[in-house]
Amino acid sequence: MKRYEFAKKYRNWTTADWNKVFFSDESKINLCGSDGRQYYWKRKNDRMKNNFIVPTIKHGGGHIQ
């Protein structure tokens, strides 16, 4: 229903009107790695491999939203 109301409200807009609008998908982009947990599988007696160790940045690292 909200989409229908939006379409009715702006149905007469021209291309010039729409060119003044900035559209965003509101995606969050992390600047440094993931903000979630990361897992990997290994056998019980295997050592952890260095290529699975992920460096971290203390106090966040920031993001763009």
Would you give the DSSP letter of residue 47? P
Residue 61 pLDDT: 60
> Which amino acid, 33?
G
| 4 three-state secondary structure | helix
Contact (Cβ atoms closer than 8 angstroms) between residue 39 and residue 5: no
Residues 18-64: tens digit of each pLDDT:
999 988 777 777 776 677 777 788 888 888 888 877 777 676 566 56
Residue 49 pLDDT: 83
